[in-house]
Chain A
Amino acid sequence: MKLTRREFSAGLAAGLAAPALMRSAWAQGATIKIGMCVPVTGPAAEQGLWAQNGAKLALAAVNKAGGVLGKQVELVIEDDQTTNPGIVLAFSKLAAQSDIVAFLGSIRSTQVQAMAPDVIKVGKPVMIGGTNPDLTHSGNPWLFRFRPNDNYSGRVIADFGVNTLGKKKWAIVHSTDAFGTAGGKALSEALTKLGAPPVLDQGYANQSQDFTPVVLAVKQSGADVLGTYFTFENDLGIFARQLRQLGVNIPWVGSPSVVAVSSTKLAGPALFNTYGVADFAEDSSDAAKAFGKAYRDAYKTAPDNQSAWPYDAITILSAAINKAGSTDPNKIRDAILATQKFAGAEGEYNFDKNGDGLHGYNVVKNDKGKIVYDKHIDFND
């Protein structure tokens, strides 16, 4: 008998892995596991906490309603350290646990990009919140987006500003990170299509301590409306204050961070009367109201999009597995893509063939520190 090296090492590996396999077989009997990569440390640790809150809330509801395929659902959380190598390691660690049936990825587009090669290798569904349009448009069949992508945020900001507020001289301020750059570009393109190309397109680097030059550039551009893509709330807070101090009071329509809970807290009156697009707005629908109430009851604080999308992701994923009647990745995939007219906290989900669930945004207004729902703008393409 001739034992090749490959056979030998495979046998060795099987021998080594046997206890783990038995353990996982046992575990498979007990619960359905969903992996979640989330920043527990690093600059986005704050948002990571809310994401966990949202996911756990949905999980509790699913389990209370009888779980999935008759079993309880369990969340396995790994820290992605808010970095790209961090999420690659976190995801591969989760992916190595064969009993995990699906995953929640990141809200940060670059992290999704970093883990994407591994996602294809693993071949299991991954729910994401990153809003870079490319993520679901580059042929990766396993990414499902639970937030509207940036094409829509740009289009909604432009549409609202031009058609509802009637403003045509735009200044755009955006972060130079992936999110800000993509968003700024989408907004600029949407405005150009609406016949109102921006008079100023200004990038800034994250974690700036001072925005005076940016504010003065806005002031000098003579713009009558401001569109922004800010990534970090403390940057936004500093910018908002300096904007008001230097006497710029033009209407302001921004990306979701403008109306995020912590920005509202940090910037105070400086953000009064601003508009923000929000994939989550509590008053936008009954489903959103119900989520808002549940979240407040559980965590004594107002929810926002950081917690809403994982909530929807867990809810829809669980429903999809139930509908598929199996944890086979392909069947789950088909079931998610078949999800139509599902009323989630973020809006109405109509999955398209790319894996994008949402196609529009809410516009909300900061009314003296309270975020109130203004209108919903949806697109069909």
Chain B
Amino acid sequence: MSATDNMIPAPAVRSKPLIIRHLPYFIGAAVLVALAAGMQFDGYILNILLQATTFSIAVFGLSVVLGLCGQINLAQAAFFGFGAYAVGLGTADLHLNFWLCLVGACAITLIAGAFLGMSTLRLGGHYLAMVTISFQQIVTLVMINAIGVTHGPDGVANIRRPELFQSSQSYLAFCVAMLAIVGYLVWHLPDTKLGRAMRAVRDNELAAGVNGIDVFRTKIYAFGLCALLGGLAGGLFAGGFAYVSPDQFSFAESIVFLTMSLLGGVASPIGSVIGTGLLILIPEWLRFLKSVPGLYLAIYGLFVILIIRFMPDGIWGFVSDAFTRWRAHTKAPPAAAALQLKPATSGGDIVLEVTGLSKHFGGLKAVDGVDIAVKRGGVHALIGPNGSGKTTTLNVLSGLYKATAGRIVLDGTDITNMAPHQRTAAGLGRTFQNIRLFRSMTALENVEIGAERPGNTMIGKGEDALTERAMEALTFVGLGNRANELISSFSYGHQRLIEIARALASNPTLLLLDEPAAGLNSTEKLELHELLKRIAAQGLTILIIDHDMTLVSEAAQHITVLNFGRRIADGESMAVLRHPDVVSAYLGSE
């Protein structure tokens, strides 16, 4: 780490200690808790506030699983119910201590959530929706029918509160305090390693995997956390209302939770509180419409449609968007030092050795017995006409496809059967033909995720080191001064560079570039060529796939040619390009 001596400290964003920057939040929270404890509310307001507070915590859970991680959960009411029953049955029937029950509630829901996640999260989208609905229905049925344990539809009465908070007012204050604490954690979560991983999974699962994130585990964490918050909220709810029954935790309630989350804005805990508050209050406000049965719920349904239509990011998303636009442009971060690439060298002279690699899709042999040997420290190109199996080969190399046969050895490690994130940890970095960046994040955050690769020896401890490394990588590709801008504000060519920076920040042993010149204009191609030279100069091995013959012939020292899934030529660049089979393959097909 000798190069870090002359380093300028990381960008200004994290200059002051966290506690001081967030002091206003804690002061505000303290004021709210004091108000909850001090104001004299009548029973109605108290019940509404208690409901809103506990529901908000459950909705925080959704903002983690849905907002951060992009996974749908239609069973939050079931987890809420788990927590409520744990506290209810624990205090009323077993006469256990409230705190013990609350901790138990959290533990049970955490396990249930993680378990549900484990058994089903390999399925995406609609399947996940269905599984969570099924889970919800079964939980409801058990609550109703397992009368011996749950008291069935009678519900659990006489639920106790902690000694300390016997009065409704003080209990409300306690719940508000919990809300503030949990809210703080959820608010801060996106900036942690786990939070970034969740956002990466949401934005682009494939890219998350090849950047060293264990997608499956990240989803389980998100699901477990969501369930845990549901359970905590349920436990608090049970203490607040002293009575729980199965119909409070039905599928319909899960839908209400989801709607609350979307209405307020799924991305932020503030949105959760707004959404929850509104959806508890709106039906209350609309009670004057009660003379016609159904009318106010009909209007509620209409609201849901309109909000989804006109405020896609929810109310808070709408507000904060306007705020961001109104605020001046983000400050450019200070410059960073030069990027150091130190590819690991545990293997021999050959960095990547592929032998007999095959990938069959049913009867189609997309890749058929291909051998590739990539020498350390050079630029190796893999070319071939359309449909020759280039990209399939790359996808098998990075683990997106499982090889049908063959062996892949990276720097002495057999990676043939590894998951994408494990290969990344083993030292593989890659970019995509159709750019896969995490679109909701800034350039810096994207590259930080790359730098966070497990086994990256080039970063020190802590957030600051991470930011430093990411800044170096961005500066290396020439975009250091725009680090804090969102991905959407970059041109196509620049997005490509960010993707490369993301791979470089992880200090890979081998860099796979999938058609990096696709869609670039001639100036950008020249810049790319220069960049490749600078990367190769630091000793990093590059395996490049591209159509662009000029780029390939100028940059690569070694070329492998595929056609119809088989290797038809391999060797020194100029010789290969003049090879008659290669010429006919290209002229024959293009």
Contacts and interface: CB of A to CB of B under 8 A. Distances in A.
A joins B in a complex:
yes
Interface of A: 5-6, 8-10, 12-13, 40-41, 45, 48-49, 77-79, 81, 83-85, 88-89, 92-93, 95-96, 109-110, 113-114, 116-118, 121-122, 132, 176-178, 181-182, 203, 205
Contacts of A79: 287, 290
B51 A177 contact: no
Contacts of B247: 83-84, 110
Interface in B32-55: 34, 38-40, 42-48, 51
A177 B153 contact: yes
Contacts of A5: 34, 38
Nearest to A98: B42
Interface in B207-238: none
Contacts of A116: 157, 243
Contact of A181 (B153, B287, B293, B297): B153
B284 to A, nearest CB: 7
A193 B411 CA distance: 83
11 contacts: A9-B40, A77-B290, A84-B243, A88-B47, A93-B44, A110-B153, A114-B155, A116-B243, A122-B43, A182-B154, A205-B145
B293 A45 contact: yes
A372 to B, nearest CB: 32
Given A12-B39, A110-B245, A85 B51 contact: yes
Nearest to A178: B153
Contact of B153 (A6, A12, A95, A176): A176
Given A84-B243, A178-B152, A205-B145, 16 more contacts: A9-B38, A41-B297, A49-B293, A84-B245, A85-B51, A85-B241, A85-B248, A92-B46, A96-B45, A113-B245, A114-B155, A117-B241, A122-B43, A132-B154, A178-B155, A205-B144
Contacts of A40: 290, 293
Interface residues of B, number: 35
Nearest to A94: B44
Given A89-B48, A113-B155, A177-B153, A83 B40 contact: no
Nearest to B250: A83
Nearest to A110: B245
Given A5-B38, A40-B293, A110-B154, A117 B242 contact: yes
A113 B154 contact: yes
Interface string B7-40: 0000000000000000000000000001000111
A49 B291 CA distance: 10
A118 B240 CA distance: 11
B304 interface: no
Contacts of A121: 43
B350 interface: no
A235 to B, nearest CB: 15
B574 interface: no
Given A9-B38, A181-B147, A95 B43 contact: yes
B300 to A, nearest CB: 10
A78 B153 contact: no
Contacts of A8: 38
Contacts of B283: 81
Contacts of B39: 9, 12-13
Listed from nearest, the 4 A-B pairs whose CB atoms lie closest are A13-B40, A178-B153, A96-B44, A96-B42
B298 to A, nearest CB: 10
A203 B146 CA distance: 12
Contacts of B580: none
A113 B293 contact: no
Contacts of B287: 78-79
Contacts of A110: 153-155, 245, 247
Contacts of A109: 154
Nearest to B298: A41
B294 interface: yes
B168 to A, nearest CB: 8
Nearest to A175: B153
B546 to A, nearest CB: 61
Contacts of B51: 85, 89
Nearest to B243: A114
A13 B169 CA distance: 14
B432 interface: no
B46 A6 contact: no
Interface string B136-154: 0000010011010000111
A241 B46 CA distance: 48
A83 B297 CA distance: 14
Nearest to A177: B153
- Among A5, A10, A113, chain B packs the most CB atoms within 10 A around the CB of A113
Contact of A83 (B241, B248, B290, B293): B248
Contacts of A114: 155, 241, 243, 245
Given A49-B293, A178-B154, A10 B40 contact: yes
Contacts of B154: 109-110, 113, 132, 178, 181-182
A79 B296 CA distance: 11
Interface string B238-259: 0001110101100000000000
